[in-house]
Structure 1
Amino acid sequence: MRRPVSIGPVAFDASLWDEPITGIGLYTHCLADALEARGVRLQRLGARVSGEDPRGRMGRTAYVLGRLPRALRETEARLYHALGNFNLPLVRTPGKPYVLTVHDLIPLSMPETVSRAYHWQFRLWLARSVQVADRILCVSACTRDDLLARHPEVSDKVTVTYNGVDHVDRHVPDATAEAYLRTLSLPSRFVLYAGSLDVRKNVGLVLDALERLKARGRQAALVLVGQSWFGSGSVESRVARMRSEGHDIRPLGYQSEQVFYELMRRATVFVFPSRYEGFGLPPLEAMRLGTPAIVSTTGATPEVCGEGAPAVRPDDAEGLAEAMDRLLQSDAERRRWAEAGRKQAARFTWARCADETLAAYEAALRR
């Protein structure tokens, strides 16, 4: 365990602190907890209502570009850590090094998955942010390689700092969550997908696999947990059609953490055939909880899940159907992959993430 550090207070990007917990918001909370456990004092800047400088009704972009530079000039914090891919102020703040976390470059590599306005915002702001940053943390080697392919000039300040996954250990369902889960009357065996329903997540491949299984008389129940996102309308329409045709598909929308992780524990198999991930946390969470996961062969998912999960190509509906069927039908297969998954997931802890983040802080302060 790394010794506690005394680098002084850190100004910490809290722009998603008060929002519903999704990917970057989860990273924000878990990293903050792990840093504070190391003795780091954080000043949370830019949250909607909490922290040292809440932005109130001001939008996140307006806050970073308009008010954050002044807040950084006035704070005693020694550096600022932005957590959202590109959201650094456009100019340096004298005496305040900048650290930036980049999770993925999907709006650039897959522009069809975001709005045109967001694509250009991401492209232009990222280009400036990597120039003003003193250290850049990428959550996988895959993301690092994507970043350096576009910005090779920043290679000397980029490091890979993996996410943790052990946050799932502390989540157990409360009475309200248990009561809700009982109302679902879930079957004894079901497939779970968790994430947004956009094109990149490739939920359509899961639906293709369900249709193949049903054609063989192997109908499987599917539970979908996640919110609508840009381009999710076609998936939602197809789900409605398939339900009318007799498929057991249960779209539950966004769920609390207690419900979400209990569904992961109860699932027979977790599927995540995303076309691209900068890290790929949901399958790793399932693996940590002992649920076999099926993942994609693309993006950072093979790097993160390694030998802990079977992988299929993101266009291989037949391969996904066969992998799902094996895990649904075979107790031995599920035990084998559950054990392999737990072993792989144990490598990823928030304590390790915090230690590597602290090393980046120290390097930024030395520049």
Structure 2
Amino acid sequence: MGPIAFDATLWDEPTTGIGLYTRCLASALEALGVQLTRVGAQSSGEAPRAKAGRTAWTLGGLPRVLQRSDALLYHAHGNFNLPLIRAPGMKYVLTVHDLIPLLMPETVSAAFRWQFRLWMSRSLMVADQVVCVSERTRQDLLARYPEAESRTVVVPNGVDHVHAPVLDDTSKDFLRALSLPKEYVLYAGSLDVRKNVDLVLDALERLRLRGRPASLVLAGQSWFGAGRVEARISRLRSEGFEVRSLGYQSDAVFYELMRRAAVFVFPSRYEGFGLPPLEAMRLGTPTIVSTAGSLPEVCGDAALSVGPDDANGLARALDRLLHSPEERRALGERGKAQAAKFTWKRTAEGTLAAYEAALRR
């Protein structure tokens, strides 16, 4: 197999789920001997886009790059971002992580929703293979685009990029200054409506009414629609609830917060894969997830699960774990065993098989 033109449009950007996927998959493919040509990064790689925006470059600049390339295949990672026209002789592979703008349109801007809908329809017309990160995503895709079934495969993400963090002095000082309680509940992710942080806050209120207060730490960036949740967090803090909202953190601090947490909670209303709970499980942190989206598929019985509207159920699960070190240890061990099944080597092997299938078309 010759070189693969590899979508690097998020390579130099602040880390997002797709950016993490891009870098981890690239490393794992190169470890298998696949030659990658990274195209579209802001400044790195073999064909950077410089000051051009991602959308403008993909529509205008990328087709010219691919026409000059000696690669036979281009792999896009952003759900819908294949070029609108095919470069002569070039095969296309597309990774779809989720269909959130179609499934939960109220959680994204109207402009992005329309961009997603129109561009995905075209991308699925020109894609030779479509890689879905979970069976849930594949089923959601085929419910709307059944014509893609013969070209669609499931290749789950890996999680072995996560290791017990090595902290520099600045990170150690930062964590020490936080003076976090010994046993805290952690939510990690953005604060948008889809992530359902309100359910965690509902559970906190119920626990306090029962005389069983819990401490909550939130690590993640603000996102579209986060304002109402942020206002509620401020109100709860003014009422004496122990809620720490730490915002976006470096990888080392982020994973150390996960490792130290008594319980990790992730009650999302929908995930195409759901990497944060799997990361917590890899670190041995007992985890509670919702029963929505791909979370049951990914976490199996190695995490406790509650319905995405079941605040009482979440309160009971939190209370049980916070007051049972033995159950936390047992659940943490089950989580590590489940997370060990998800490696980037397996992701790369499945992706390579998709490349080979595309080239045979």
TM-score, normalised relative to structure 1: 0.97
Q: How does 1:333-348 map to 2 (within 5 A)?
A: 333-348=327-342
**Structure-1 residue corresponding to 2:204:** 210
Are 2:191 and 1:197 aligned? yes
Task: Tell me, in whole angstroms, the C-alpha distance in 2 between the residues paired with 1:171 and 1:135.
Answer: 36
Are 2:230 and 1:244 aligned? no
Are 2:257 and 1:255 aligned? no
Are 2:299 and 1:305 aligned? yes
2:80 alignment partner, one of 82, 86, 90: 86
SS at match of 2:201: helix
2:136 alignment partner, one of 119, 124, 142: 142
**Structure-2 residue corresponding to 1:13:** 7
CA RMSD of aligned residues (A): 0.8
Q: Which one-letter code corresponds to 2:302 in the other structure?
A: G
The 8 Å contact of residues 79 and 94 in structure 2, kept in 1 or not, is answered as: yes
2:160 alignment partner, one of 117, 141, 166: 166
Q: Which one-letter code corresponds to 2:178 in the other structure?
A: L
**Structure-2 residue corresponding to 1:188:** 182
Task: Tell me, in whole angstroms, the C-alpha distance in 2 between the residues paired with 1:175 and 1:24.
Answer: 30
Are 2:220 and 1:226 aligned? yes
**Structure-2 residue corresponding to 1:290:** 284
Are 2:115 and 1:121 aligned? yes
Deviates more, 1:236-245 or 1:33-42: 33-42
Going from structure 1 to structure 2, the CA distance change for 1:25 and 1:156 (only over 3 Å counts) comes to: same
SS at match of 1:274: coil
SS at match of 2:6: strand
Deviation at 1:170, TM superposition (A): 6.6
The 8 Å contact of residues 184 and 262 in structure 2, kept in 1 or not, is answered as: yes
Q: How does 1:55-70 map to 2 (within 5 A)?
A: 55-70=49-64
Deviation at 1:236, TM superposition (A): 0.2
Deviation at 1:216, TM superposition (A): 1.3
Task: Tell me, in whole angstroms, the C-alpha distance in 2 between the residues paired with 1:30 and 1:172.
Answer: 19
Are 2:360 and 1:331 aligned? no
Task: Tell me, in whole angstroms, the C-alpha distance in 1 between the residues paired with 2:237 and 2:150.
Answer: 52
Task: Tell me, in whole angstroms, the C-alpha distance in 2 between the residues paired with 1:245 and 1:15.
Answer: 44
Q: Per-residue displacement from partner, 1:91-113 (whole Å, max 9, x unpaired)?
A: 11111100000000010010000
Deviation at 1:316, TM superposition (A): 0.3
Q: Per-residue displacement from partner, 1:218-238 (whole Å, max 9, x unpaired)?
A: 111111011111100000000
Deviation at 1:173, TM superposition (A): 2.2
Deviation at 1:172, TM superposition (A): 2.6
Aligned residues: 361
Deviation at 1:336, TM superposition (A): 1.4
Deviation at 1:117, TM superposition (A): 0.8
Q: Which one-letter code corresponds to 2:211 in the other structure?
A: G
The 8 Å contact of residues 262 and 285 in structure 2, kept in 1 or not, is answered as: yes
TM-score, normalised relative to structure 2: 0.99
Q: Per-residue displacement from partner, 1:94-138 (whole Å, max 9, x unpaired)?
A: 111000000000100100000111111000100000110000000
Structure 1 stretches of 5 or more lacking a match? 1-6
SS at match of 1:11: strand
SS at match of 2:95: strand
Q: Which one-letter code corresponds to 1:106 in the other structure?
A: I
**Structure-1 residue corresponding to 2:33:** 39
Q: Which one-letter code corresponds to 1:99 in the other structure?
A: V
Q: Which one-letter code corresponds to 2:77 in the other structure?
A: L
Deviation at 1:82, TM superposition (A): 0.1
Task: Tell me, in whole angstroms, the C-alpha distance in 1 between the residues paired with 2:244 and 2:268.
Answer: 20
Task: Tell me, in whole angstroms, the C-alpha distance in 2 between the residues paired with 1:170 and 1:30.
Answer: 17
Are 2:105 and 1:111 aligned? yes
The 8 Å contact of residues 184 and 261 in structure 2, kept in 1 or not, is answered as: yes
Q: Which runs of 4+ in 1 moved over 6 A?
A: none
SS at match of 1:168: coil
Task: Tell me, in whole angstroms, the C-alpha distance in 1 between the residues paired with 2:279 and 2:107.
Answer: 24
SS at match of 1:167: coil
1:154 alignment partner, one of 148, 153, 161: 148
**Structure-2 residue corresponding to 1:353:** 347
Task: Tell me, in whole angstroms, the C-alpha distance in 1 between the residues paired with 2:172 and 2:37.
Answer: 36
Deviates more, 1:189-198 or 1:48-57: 48-57
Q: Which one-letter code corresponds to 1:220 in the other structure?
A: A
The 8 Å contact of residues 38 and 47 in structure 2, kept in 1 or not, is answered as: yes
